[in-house]
A and B are shown apart, each in its own frame.
Chain A
Amino acid sequence: MKRLTFLTSFTAILFFMSIFVYVAYRASIIGLTHDECNTYTILNPAGGGGIVLSKQLPTTTYSTPG
Chain B
Amino acid sequence: MRQSIGLTGSHSELALRFPNVLAFLVYAIAVWLLLKPWKNNPFLYFLGLGMLLLNPYLIDFFSIARGYGLALAFGLMAVYFFVKAREPGQLKPFVRDLFFSMLFSLLAAYSNFIFINLNIALLALFLLEFVLHYRKEILRENLSLGIGLILIVGLNLHHINKIHDILMVLQDNKELYFGGKQGFIISTLRVLIHRSIYLGYYGEAFWERIYHGLIIAFFGLTVILLLRKKQSGLNRIFALLVVMIAAAVIQFHVFQILFPVDRTALIFIPLAGLTLFHVGVDLSDWFSSHLRKSEWFIGLVLFAFFVLPMGYHFIRNMNTKYILEWKFDANTKEVVRMIQSESSSVEQKSIVSSWEFHPALDFYIQRISNNKKLIIDNTLSNNGDYIYCHAHEKEKIADTTAFTVMANFADTKTILLKRKNPHPEE
Q: Assess whether A30 is in contact with B323, with CB atoms less than 8 Å apart.
A: yes
A19 to B375, CA, bound (A): 39
CA distance A12 to B25 in the complex (A): 13
Known contacts A34-B329, A35-B326, A38-B359; is A28 also within 8 Å of B14 by CB?
Answer: yes
A64 in contact with B5 given A33-B64, A36-B66, A37-B363 (CB within 8 Å): no
Query: Is B200's beta carbon under 8 Å from chain A?
Result: no
**Are A30 and B2 closer than 8 Å at their CB atoms?**
no
- C-alpha spacing A53/B89, complex, angstroms: 58
Interface residues of A toward B: which range? 35 or more
Output the least CB separation between B25 and chain A (Å).
7
Q: Tell me whether A47 is interfacial, beta carbon within 8 Å.
A: no
Q: A33 vs B379: C-alpha distance in the bound complex, in angstroms?
A: 19
- Pair A31/B333 contact, Cβ less than 8 Å: yes
Asked if A63 and B14 make an inter-chain contact with CB atoms under 8 angstroms apart, the answer reads: no
Q: Does B332 contact A (CB under 8 A)?
A: yes
Question: What would 28 A/B residue contacts be, using CB atoms closer than 8 Å?
Answer: A4-B40, A7-B42, A8-B39, A8-B40, A15-B49, A16-B31, A19-B53, A20-B21, A20-B25, A20-B28, A23-B24, A23-B62, A27-B13, A27-B63, A28-B14, A31-B330, A32-B13, A34-B328, A34-B360, A39-B1, A40-B65, A43-B2, A44-B2, A50-B5, A50-B11, A63-B352, A63-B375, A63-B384
Q: Report the nearest B residue to A22, measured CB to CB.
A: B318
CB within 8 Å of B: which A22-66 residues? 22-41, 43-45, 50-55, 59-66
A29–B14 Cα gap in the complex (Å)?
8
- Given A12-B45, A19-B24, A23-B24, A1 and B323 touching (CB < 8 A)? no
Quick check: B360 and A15 within 8 Å, CB to CB?
A: no
User: CA of A39 to CA of B64 in the docked complex: distance in angstroms?
Assistant: 11
The answer to whether B13 and A31 touch across the interface, beta carbons within 8 angstroms, is yes
B59→A19 contact, CB < 8 A: yes
In the complex, are the beta carbons of B24 and A40 less than 8 A apart?
no
B231 at the binding interface (Cβ < 8 Å): no
From A27, A44, A64, name the one whose CB has the most chain B CB atoms within 10 angstroms: A27
Q: Which secondary structure dominates where chain A touches chain B? A: helix
Task: Count CB-based A-B contacts (< 8 Å).
Answer: 168
Given contacts A31-B13, A54-B365, contact A26 B1 (CB under 8 A): no
A51 x B375 contact (CB < 8 A): no
Q: In the bound complex, what is the Cα–Cα distance between A51 and B362 (angstroms)? A: 11
- With known contacts A34-B329, A35-B66, A35-B326, A61–B375 Cβ distance under 8 A: yes
Render B53-94 as a binary contact track against A, CB cut-off 8 A, 1 for contact.
100000100111110000000000000000000000000000
- A32 near B21 with CB under 8 A, answer no
Other than the known A27-B17, A30-B330, A32-B16, what 18 A-B pairs have Cβ atoms closer than 8 Å? A8-B39, A11-B42, A15-B49, A15-B53, A16-B53, A24-B63, A31-B332, A32-B13, A32-B360, A32-B363, A34-B326, A34-B358, A37-B359, A37-B360, A41-B362, A45-B5, A60-B375, A64-B381
Do A52 and B366 touch across chains, with their CB atoms under 8 A apart? yes
| Complex Cα–Cα for A55 and B375 (A) | 11
